[in-house]
Amino acid sequence: MLRDEIATIKVLCMKATLFKTKMTEARKPTVTRQDIWEQFQNDRSLIDLYRITPEEIESLKRVALLGSLTGTRDILFILRQMRGRGR
């Protein structure tokens, strides 16, 4: 009986490990920081809408390298923070 319980626990542990591995793989970003930056930099309508200057783009480029980006919204958040700091 004890052997059956141990075997069951081993199987459950193996299944949990496989599930954890699959979940970890699923969370890996499919879009890289470079992809996000290029998408932002090439979006002329967005740059025009927010009136982003070439100097701000250079600053954003440097700042964006310091953290993780999940999308263009992150870059716009950084821009708002940069602009708000000067007030």
Give the residue extent of every domain in the chain: 1-28, 33-85
pLDDT of 23 above 70? no
Residue found under tokens 């982003």: 52
Phi/psi at 61 (5° precision): -60, -45
Please tell me which residue, 85 or 46, carries the higher pLDDT value.
46
pLDDT, tens digit (0-9, with 9 covering 90-100), for 24-75: 655 655 778 888 999 999 999 999 999 999 999 999 988 877 777 888 899 9
Q: How far apart are CA 74 and CA 80, in angstroms?
A: 10
Q: Which residues of 15-34 are buried (b: 16+ CB within 10 A; e: fewer)?
A: eeeeeeeeeeeeeeeeeeee
pLDDT at 30: 74
